[in-house]
Amino acid sequence: MRKSLDSGWALAPATADEVPTAVTGPIPATVPGCVHTDLLAAGLIPDPFLDRNETLLGWIGDTTWHYTHTFEWRGAGGHDRVDLVCDGLDTVADLELNGVPIGSTANMHRSYRFDVRDGLRPGDNDLRITFHPAREYARRWERDLGARPNAYGEPFNFIRKMACNFGWDWGPTLVTAGIWQPIGLDLWHTARLRTVRPLATVHNGTGRVEVHADIARAADGPLTLTATIAGRQSRTTTKTDTATVTVDVPDAARWWPRGYGAQPRYDLEVTLTDTSGTTLDTWRRKIGFRDVRLDTAPDETGSPFTVVVNDQPILVRGVNWIPDDVFPTRITRQRLADRLTQAIDANVNLLRVWGGGRYESEDFYDLADEHGLMVTQDFLFACAAYPEEEPFATEVAAEAAEQVVRLSSHPSLIWWCGNNENIWGHEDWGWKPELGDRSWGAGYYHRVLPDIVDNLDPTRPYWPGSPWSGTDDRHPNDPAHGTTHIWDVWNQLDYTHYRDHHPRFVAEFGYQAPPTWATLAAAITDDPPAPDSPGMLHHQKAVDGQRKLQRGLDAHFTPPRDFADWHYLTQVNQARAIALGITHFRTIEPTCTGTIVWQLNDCWPVTSWAAVDGAGRRKPMWHALRRAYADRLLAIDDTTAVLRNETAHPWHATLTVGRSTLDNDVKAGTTHDVTVPPHGRAQVRHGIAPPGDPTTEVLWAEADGADRAWWFYAEDKDMAYPRAAFDATAAHRNGVTTLTVTARTFLRDLTVFPDRLDGTAEPDDALRTLFPGETATFTITAATPLDEDDGALTTRPVLRCVND
């Protein structure tokens, strides 16, 4: 029986005179929560997301904080054991009950349980949790064990805490502390289920679930473990602290990734009973039957990285996932549902949970299970060398074992990954001279973690790192083998150089742009805003980020006239970069069997690589992602058209390819009948000769069931675009605004930004390119209808195209 202690907490600094704010006494604390959110709720600190306020709040993470709670105790009511269960404490904490120490913690990524039965007293009881500064703890271990290199200068690799709390190239430095998961008293007797680990497999149509239970005992004697699923039941009796029971489900319906089949799940109930048949504990979950493997068998071009589910190779259309808020307790199930729906609507089938954040929540995985979104979960190591000495060796093993067991029931979890970029960093980032003979994490990635996965969850594979090439005798980021990260393009080159890469699987690549206008306007008060204004620069965390954005603009466009141009064109560049990269990688399948774009989401308002900004608004990149990940993709270059079919049915298409002037005078054209097999591709040499003047003509292709594909022979800044002319009308009906635009001249990347008028307004499409006479219709939803007679909706800067 669980007695919640989530309500009734108070928060105060350990020494009030060391904090630069008006905390004159304890303030109410929300649990789950953190110090920052409580201070915000009390009006004692400014919004850290606004302007440069983040820089004013560093003291919070350097302060010792007391959480205090008084609760009434009326006895155990027949239970002979009482444990204080802390599902998550962030991070370095000492716990006291009625002034008596009961335990300490130093790991945000695991739960803790303390026996408190002898410390409780009738009536009021006082519980205090003291959180010590995380940075101070990390610096102490850094001094004791010797420094290890990392990408951001903060000592996040010396504490088991969300690394991005210490700042990242897309996130603020807001070092949190607090009770970030539920807390309560667990009352039990005789025995309880310490852990339940269901391992679901399927063979020849029969599903099998092996339920492994670890049992905590307060008394000796036989116990019965029973598992029930799909109307079938199995039980076993044990006199020890472990038990295993197996249930077979004939003709089990398999769980499939979205786009490949349905996602049936079965209710599994596990009970622990004593000799009298009294139920002592119960555990329930939904599980799914599927098998998964990674095909890495060498071939003529290296070694692939192919995800195979239920013996079906899956072309991965993925996005990287970071914590959706700097403060995780603000992330509700509905917010996760919204974000995962945005992924699904962009034709995504896999989310990679990146290793500098957290092991994602039950809500996250339950939603992924429900919707058929595959997930790969990094163990939490990112961009740094990590010590393997104590106390970290024990903490890492305990954390990993707990999380593997916790997530083992979820069919959406496809593979575990050992770390983000650490093996690559050790090889290429100059770590070796600095490290000398000090440990850096290799033992975790190649021994500890694979052993834990193999022992506790052999139903899914493990991969040592992202990137990783499959063996130590290869460069870890070798594009011919395994998984690859491509960052030379963003950091050094124009995005057209994605075409130079022929990887087997791209686990990270991306290109930046600022957030949507409404998100930006709510986050900075620069007057006027500019690429180099203070707020804009503060909300750009990437090294030389603004310079890299400008380099991208210089490669393609004439100089922006103003900030509105800069904002629009950087959005266009990001969208084009991602579309080009995905399209190229999809069209070279089977060489490349998947892409995981960096990144889907943001944790605050920032210029970043995200498709969905920190306020949950879709950037133009999201629309480009949706098109590039479409089930039926048509791509073209100056010699070849490629059709990619990710449906279970053949695609019979009439392919038309044409070269036209900008006023749609067709100069050359060909037609081809094409059949693309299920989950396959077709390639056609279209035979269209190049134009005499590349600045006045474009190449295009059309096929039934796919978006039109374009090829431009020159950069925008060199194209002889006409000055944009169009007719635009807006109409309102049933709470929705419809914007219709008919081109009178060629219009490139026509996009409407209604959030400039109403922050709740969002269009259903973007980046439409039209010949004269063609029409685009945008459907705009908003909390309140937009004014259809307001000319602002149909003019710059709300309605834009590249040649306006």
Q: Could you report the per-residue pLDDT of 184-194, keeping only the tens digit for each? A: 999 999 999 99
> Which tens digits make up the pLDDT trace of 401-434?
999 999 999 999 999 999 999 999 999 999 999 9
710, 735: one domain: no
pLDDT for the residue 24:
75
- Residue 324 inside a domain? The answer is no
Structural contact between residues 196 and 270, judged by C-beta atoms closer than 8 angstroms: yes
- Residue 356 inside a domain? The answer is no
SS3 (DSSP) at 637: coil
Please, which pLDDT band fits residue 78 given cuts at 50, 70 and 90? confident
pLDDT for the residue 789:
67
701, 764: one domain: no
pLDDT for the residue 57:
95
785, 745: one domain: yes
Q: What b/e readout covers 655-676, taking b as 16+ CB neighbours within 10 angstroms?
A: bbbbbbbbebeeebebebebeb
92, 125: one domain: yes
> Which tens digits make up the pLDDT trace of 244-303?
999 999 999 999 999 999 999 999 999 999 999 999 999 999 999 999 999 999 999 999
Q: CA–CA distance from 561 to each of 184, 409, 524, 546, 630 (Å)?
A: 59, 55, 21, 17, 34
Q: Of the residues 164, 186, 208, which one is the last residue of a structural domain?
A: 186
713, 738: one domain: no
**Tokens 């036989």 -> residue:** 222
Residues 6+ apart with CB under 8 A from 482: 296, 303, 305, 463, 467, 468, 469, 470, 504, 505
SS3 (DSSP) at 470: coil
Measured CA angle at 794 (ends 790, 795), to 5 deg: 105
Residues 6+ apart with CB under 8 A from 668: 658, 659, 688, 689
pLDDT for the residue 537:
98
DSSP state of 229: E
Averaged pLDDT of the chain: 96
643, 790: one domain: no
Q: CA–CA distance from 701 to each of 91, 671, 684, 698, 766 (Å)?
A: 56, 10, 11, 10, 19
* DSSP-derived pairing of the beta strands 374-378 and 413-417: parallel
Structural contact between residues 687 and 640, judged by C-beta atoms closer than 8 angstroms: no
Tokens found for residue 622: 């999201």
CATH number at residue 770: 2.60.40
Compute the average pLDDT of residues 11-39: 89
318, 240, 299, 333: which is closest to 481 by C-alpha?
Answer: 299
- Residue 33 inside a domain? The answer is yes
792, 733: one domain: yes
pLDDT for the residue 530:
97
- Residue 69 inside a domain? The answer is yes
155, 130, 151, 129: which is closest to 140 by C-alpha?
Answer: 155
Compute the average pLDDT of residues 743-748: 98
Strand partners, 83: 115, 186
- Residue 91 inside a domain? The answer is yes
> Which strands, in side-by-side order, build the sheet including 242-249?
191-203, 206-217, 242-249
- Residue 54 inside a domain? The answer is yes
> Which tens digits make up the pLDDT trace of 681-712?
999 999 999 999 999 999 999 999 999 999 99
Phi, then psi, of 428 in degrees rounded to 5: -120, -10
Residues 6+ apart with CB under 8 A from 473: none
Inform me whether the pLDDT recorded for 172 exceeds 70.
yes
68, 124: one domain: yes
758, 766, 750, 757: which is closest to 791 by C-alpha?
Answer: 757
What's the domain range around 669? Answer: 633-718
Inform me whether the pLDDT recorded for 644 exceeds 90.
yes
pLDDT over 90, % of the chain: 96
pLDDT over 70, % of the chain: 100
pLDDT for the residue 198:
98
81, 174: one domain: yes
679, 786: one domain: no
CATH number at residue 708: 2.60.40.10
164, 59: one domain: yes
Tokens found for residue 440: 């850096």
Inform me whether the pLDDT recorded for 22 exceeds 80.
no
Q: Of the residues 287, 316, 344, which one is the last residue of a structural domain?
A: 287
Inform me whether the pLDDT recorded for 784 exceeds 90.
no
212, 183, 205, 199: which is closest to 249 by C-alpha?
Answer: 205
Per the structure, the count of domains in the chain is 4
pLDDT for the residue 76:
84
